[in-house]
A and B are shown apart, each in its own frame.
Chain A
Amino acid sequence: AQSVTQLGSHVSVSEGALVLLRCNYSSSVPPYLFWYVQYPNQGLQLLLKYTTGATLVKGINGFEAEFKKSETSFHLTKPSAHMSDAAEYFCAVSRGSGGYQKVTFGTGTKLQVIP
């Protein structure tokens, strides 16, 4: 079984401040991990993904995430928040092959950026 926990349904940061969105996962096998962003009235868009290899993953719009197996975490960070970063962010874990590709999403974190 696999699951994803996102700590904090709402996070507020000041413009220019560090963004940290937390994600912890559980998986019985090595996971594939994703962060998606959803802007109002739109579908989810891929921010970044971890499959294998380097544990620090860089994504679009200056975001990055670090896979920490010992902590079962995949937290999303950005050094300096911009107003355009205001959106909802979803962490997801995927595992499966040869058929059903089960993807489990967290419940999402809404990021508010304060001017």
Chain B
Amino acid sequence: NAGVTQTPKFRVLKTGQSMTLLCAQDMNHEYMYWYRQDPGMGLRLIHYSVGEGTTAKGEVPDGYNVSRLKKQNFLLGLESAAPSQTSVYFCASRGQDNSPLHFGNGTRLTVT
């Protein structure tokens, strides 16, 4: 019973490098989300998707791109990493209107 799986768990990037974070869910959920968590700021929504093939911007989308080619996967890309993107990234999914979110265990990203 995997739920929401994020890879990788940890990553260190140099400024200007690119990377992709993968989120996979096995619950057949329609909605998927990417959040970043920073001390004292709670969780802030980066991008989200309401179904396969759809994506939309959240509160802090600058510097990130996403894709949802398959219903079970939601990818978060950083094209040119910046130190301000050092954070813990969480993927989440939900199946129905206003149902609880299911979270992955996060990816800790450090940009030097």
Contact surface of A with B, Cβ cutoff 8 Å? 9, 32, 34, 36, 41-46, 49, 51, 90, 92, 94-101, 103, 105-108
CA distance A36 to B82 in the complex (A): 30
CA distance A78 to B7 in the complex (A): 35
Nearest-CB distance from A39 to chain B (Å)? 10
Cβ-defined contact, B43 with A43, below 8 A: no
Cβ-defined contact, B42 with A95, below 8 A: no
Cβ-defined contact, B42 with A41, below 8 A: no
Cβ-defined contact, B43 with A42, below 8 A: no
Residues of A contacting B103 with CB < 8 Å? Answer: 36, 43-45
CA distance A43 to B36 in the complex (A): 11
Cβ-defined contact, B94 with A34, below 8 A: no
CA distance A45 to B48 in the complex (A): 19
Cβ-defined contact, A105 with B50, below 8 A: no
Q: Can you spell out 7 A-B residue pairs with CB atoms less than 8 angstroms apart? A: A34-B101, A44-B43, A44-B101, A96-B98, A101-B50, A103-B45, A103-B101
Number of residues of chain B lying within 8 A (CB) of chain A: 22
Cβ-defined contact, A90 with B42, below 8 A: yes
Residues of A contacting B24 with CB < 8 Å? Answer: none
**Which of A9, A90, A98 lies in contact with B40, CB distance below 8 A?**
A9
Nearest residue in A to B108 (C-beta to C-beta)? A41
Residues of B contacting A103 with CB < 8 Å? Answer: 33, 45, 101
**Which of B56, B90, B100 lies in contact with A100, CB distance below 8 A?**
B56
Cβ-defined contact, B100 with A42, below 8 A: no
8 other A-B residue contacts (CB within 8 Å) besides A41-B106, A43-B90, A101-B97: A34-B100, A42-B105, A45-B103, A51-B98, A97-B98, A105-B43, A107-B41, A108-B42
CA distance A83 to B28 in the complex (A): 36
Nearest-CB distance from B1 to chain A (Å)? 14
Nearest residue in A to B100 (C-beta to C-beta)? A46
> What 5 A-B pairs come out closest when comparing CB atoms?
A43-B103, A107-B42, A32-B98, A105-B42, A46-B100
CA distance A34 to B100 in the complex (A): 8
